[in-house]
Amino acid sequence: MAGALTAGASAAPAAPAAPDTPTSPAAGAEEVVNGDFENGSTAPWWWTENNPASVVDGRLCADVPAGTANPWDAIIGQNDLPVAPGETYALTYTASATVPVTITTNVQQATDPYTQYFTSADQLTAEPKAFTQTFTAKADDDAAQLAFQIGGSDEAYTFCVDDISLTSGAETPPYDPDTGSPVRVNQVGYLPAGPKTGVFVTDADDPAAWSLKNAAGAEVASGTTTPRGVDASSGQKVQSFDFSGVTAPGDGYTVTIGDQTSEPFSIGAGVYSELRKDALQYFYVERSGTPIRGDLVGDAWARPAGHLNVAPNRGDNGVSCVATAPCSYTLNAAGGWYDAGDQGKYVVNGGIAASQLLSSFERTLTAPGASKGALGDGKLRVPERGNGVPDILDEARWELAFLLSMQVPKGQKLAGMAHHKLHDAQWTALPTQPTDDDQPRELHPPSTAATLNLAAAAAQGARLFRGYDRAFSDKLLTAARTAYAAAVAHPAVYAPATDSVGGGAYNDDNVTDEFYWAAAELYITTGTSTYRDAVLRSPLWGKGADIFPQGGFSWGSTAALGALDLATVPNGLTARQRAEVRGEVTAAADGYAADAAKAAYGMPYAPEGGHWVWGSNSQVLNNAVVLATAADLTGAAKYRNAVLGAVDYVLGENPMNQSYVTGFGERSTQNEHNRIYAHQLDSDLAHPIAGSMAGGPDSSLEDPKAEQKLAGCVGAMCYIDDIESYSTNEMAINWNAPLAWVASYVDDLGMR
C-alpha cells in the first residue's frame, strides 16, 4: 500500500513555490513569523545544537548528523504560536532532505509532556515537497510549538524547509475514507454449510439484483437484496443479501450488484485453518528476551533477543522499581510477550491474554466437536514444537513464567502481590527495535488487579499443565494461592490512571470482577471450599448482566472468564449453581445474538451510546467467545451464526470494507502501530506478520492522527490503517487471544 504520506500531503513542482493557500474562505491571520526566509534571517526559528541551520537560497537548511536515535534528537522549531480549542488550523510547509528520511512534524505543547495537537510522519526526498495539513486543536495554548523533528537517521543529511504557514479559520475536510467497493463480504470466506451474508452500501430505496460468480466468472446463484435502512454503526444506508444456499467449495467467488463487485472470497470447510494458526503464531513473534528465529517465521520477522541487558539495552533481567515507589530488590522479569506496539509488559493484560490461550486449549477438553489435534504439539512454529506438549500451552507458558516473575518476593513488603507492569521510563520513538531500546526499564508498584490476574491465569495453568509438567503445575498453583491471599490482604491497591508515561496505565479501580475470576479459577482447579465460598459470596454471583457487560468483557472487566469456565469446566458447584451460571452465559449470548440480528453488518456488538471503544474488534470477538460457549452448551444455531457474524465483520464485511487481520483478505490492515515491524516508516522493516489483528474503530479519536483524519466519523467508521493511529490501529496480545479462540472455534465447526 502506498500509504505513508498523510492524505493531506501533495507532491509539489520542483521549484519551491508559494505555499498552497488554505481553502477556507475565513482563513485567519498568519501565526508563523518569518515562514519564507525572504530577508535571509533565521529568527525566530531555533534548532538543537547538533543541527546548525542557516538560510540558503531563501530556504532554512540544517545539517543533520548521522546516528541519532529519536526524531526529537534533532529539531528545528518556532515557539509562541497560539492555538485555541475547537479551532481548525491549516498548516503548510515545503520540505526536502538530501537522503530519503521520514521526519515528524508536530504542533505541540512547548514543555513537558509535549502534548501533541497535530502530528504527521512526512516522507522527504531531495525533491521539495509541499504539505497542506489541517487539524482541530483540542487544547488552549497561547504558546504552542511547531517542531520539525528531523533526528533518527542513520545517515547524515541536509534538511531544508520553506513557505511555512499556520493559519486559523480553516475548514475540516469532510471525512471521506476510501472504502472500495460498496459490496461487502467476508474477504476470507464462508463455511459450506454456514450462513453467508453480505452488505451493499447504496442510496437506493429499491432492492437490487445480486449475482454470485465463481472464479471463472460463471454465475452460480442470484437473488435480490433486502433494504435495511440506515445502519446505526456507520450512518451508511445499506441493503443486505444472503447466499447461504451456495455450498460448493471454491476460491475466487465474487458478488456483483449492478456495476459493483465485491472482493473475492472462498467457500470451504477449511477457510479458517490458516487464521487459527496465524492468530496463535503471532504470540511467538511478540516474545521478549529470546531471539525470534527466521527458520520458524521467515527472515523478515526474525530479530535478536531484546531486553536482555546487552548495550545499549537496559534489560529486563534485573529490573528495579520506579523512583517514586522504590523497592529494595530487583526482579528477573525477562521473557513474556511485548504487550502491543509498545514494548511494555503488563500483568493485567498478560494475564487475560495467557488465560484466553489456555481457554482455547481447555475448550478442546470440554466442548463437543472441538478438535484436540488442531491445537496439539507440532502445530505452531515455536522452538518447543515436538516436545510432547501442545504448542499453544508452550506459548502460554512463555507468558505464565513472566507473570510469576513479577510477584513480590517473600519477606518483602506486599509479598505475594504482583507488580502491575514493567516498561520504559519514557515512550520510545517509532521505530525502535527491542535491542536498540536504551530506556531504563522499571517495575511499577504492585496492584490488586495484577495480583488477581496472576492468580487466575496461574490457577488455570496449574490444572492444564498437571499432566505435562507436574513441577511447573505445582509452581503455578503455589503462586496462584499466594497471590490470591495477598490480594485478600490488600484488596484495594489500585494502579492510577496517571501512571502512563513510557507505558500504558491499565488503571482499574474496581477489582470485584478480578476477585470473582481468580476465585473461580482457584476453585475449579482445587475444589477448596474457601474459593467456592468466595465465588458464591461475590457481589457478582448471580449478576449475569454485570459479569457480561453489553459492550463485552475485557482486560478491565474479567468476571466473564470465570463464569465461562464455571459453566464449562468440570467443578464441584451443585447442579443448581451450575445451571445458574450457564443461564447467565446463555442470557448474555441471547443479548449479543439479538444485537447481531439487528445489525446489517451482522456483528454481535452494539456498544452503549454507539460509543466504539479502543480495541473494539476485541470486544466484538469477546462477545463471540460468549456466543460460542453458549453454542457449545446448547447446540443452538443462533449462537453459532452470531459468532460467524463476528468473524465476517472482522474479516471485511464491515462499514470500512476492511479486513482487520494482517495478511487475510484483499483489503487487510498493513500498518499497525508497532515499533518493531514499522514498514510504513522505514521500508527496510517488515510489515506486521500475518495474523495480527488491529484494535479497530474507536469513536473517541484518542490519538492525534485519529483526531486529524477521522473528525466527523461515525462508530464503526472511526478507523485508519496508519502506523501513528495507536487508538485505532495498534495490535495487542489481549486482542489476538480472542481472535485465536474464535478462529479455533470456527475452524472446528468446519460445517461441510
Q: Which of 504, 562, 688, 691 forms a contact with ligand 9MR (CB under 6 A)?
A: 504
Per CB under 6 A, the segment of 274-282, 313-321, 413-421, 498-506 that binds ligand 9MR is 498-506
Q: In whole angstroms, what is the distance from residue 490 CA to residue 449 CA?
A: 10
Cβ neighbour number for residue 14 with a 10 Å cutoff: 9
Per CB under 6 A, the segment of 181-189, 222-230, 272-280, 504-512 that binds ligand 9MR is 504-512
Choice between 443 and 732, CB closer to ligand 9MR: 732
Query: Is the distance from CB of 418 to CB of 483 less than 8 angstroms?
Result: yes
672 scored as a contact of ligand 9MR (CB under 6 A): no
Cβ neighbour number for residue 328 with a 10 Å cutoff: 8
Which element (helix H / strand E) includes 117? strand 116-124
- Residue 707 bears catalytic tag: no
Q: Of 339, 730, 747, 748, which is the active-site residue?
A: 730
Q: Which of 351, 591, 602, 615 forms a contact with ligand 9MR (CB under 6 A)?
A: 615
Using CB under 6 A as the criterion, what x/- string covers residues 331-360 for binding ligand 9MR? --------xxxx-x----------------
Choice between 335 and 504, CB closer to ligand 9MR: 504
Residues 6+ apart with CB under 8 A from 428: 70, 342, 343, 437, 439, 675
Q: In whole angstroms, what is the distance from residue 655 CA to residue 124 CA?
A: 33
Q: In whole angstroms, what is the distance from residue 291 CA to residue 92 CA?
A: 44
CB of 608 to ligand 9MR, least distance (A): 15
Choice between 113 and 491, CB closer to ligand 9MR: 113
Q: Which of 5, 246, 505, 536 forms a contact with ligand 9MR (CB under 6 A)?
A: 505
The maximal CA–CA distance of the chain, rounded, in angstroms, is 87
Choice between 301 and 506, CB closer to ligand 9MR: 506
71 scored as a contact of ligand 9MR (CB under 6 A): no
Choice between 50 and 500, CB closer to ligand 9MR: 500
Q: Of 342, 394, 514, 521, which is the active-site residue?
A: 342
CB of 272 to ligand 9MR, least distance (A): 25
Using CB under 6 A as the criterion, what x/- string covers residues 585-614 for binding ligand 9MR? -----------------------------x
Choice between 146 and 630, CB closer to ligand 9MR: 146
Instruction: Output phi, psi for 10, to 5 deg.
Output: -140, 150
Q: How many CA atoms lie within 13 A of 269 on its CB side?
A: 5
CB of 427 to ligand 9MR, least distance (A): 4
Q: Of 419, 420, 444, 673, which is the active-site residue?
A: 673
Q: In whole angstroms, what is the distance from residue 10 CA to residue 2 CA?
A: 13
Q: Which of 117, 726, 741, 745 forms a contact with ligand 9MR (CB under 6 A)?
A: 726
Instruction: Output phi, psi for 304, to 5 deg.
Output: -70, 165
Choice between 114 and 329, CB closer to ligand 9MR: 114
Report angle CA 515, 341, 628 to the nearest 5 degrees: 50
CB of 602 to ligand 9MR, least distance (A): 24
Query: Is the distance from CB of 630 to CB of 582 less than 8 angstroms?
Result: no
Q: Which of 732, 739, 740, 743 forms a contact with ligand 9MR (CB under 6 A)?
A: 732
Buried b / exposed e along 160-181 (16+ C-beta atoms within 10 A):
bbbbbbbbbebeeeeeebebbb
730 scored as a contact of ligand 9MR (CB under 6 A): yes
Q: Of 122, 162, 163, 721, which is the active-site residue?
A: 721
CB of 409 to ligand 9MR, least distance (A): 26
Nearest to 343 by CA among 394, 293, 297, 306: 306
- Residue 721 bears catalytic tag: yes
**3-class SS at 224?**
strand
Q: HEC states along 347-402?
A: HHHHHHHHHHHHHHHHHHHHCCCCCCHHHCCCCCCCCCCCCCCCHHHHHHHHHHHH
> Given the C-alpha cell 452470531, which residue does it identify?
642
Query: Is the distance from CB of 490 to CB of 448 less than 8 angstroms?
Result: yes
**3-class SS at 72?**
helix
- Residue 648 bears catalytic tag: no
Choice between 521 and 730, CB closer to ligand 9MR: 730
Q: Helices (H) and strands (E) in the chain — how many of each?
A: 16, 26
- Residue 584 bears catalytic tag: no
Binding site for ligand 9MR (CB under 6 A): 339-342, 344, 427, 500, 504-506, 614-615, 726, 730, 732
Question: Catalytic residues, which ones?
Answer: 342, 673, 721, 730
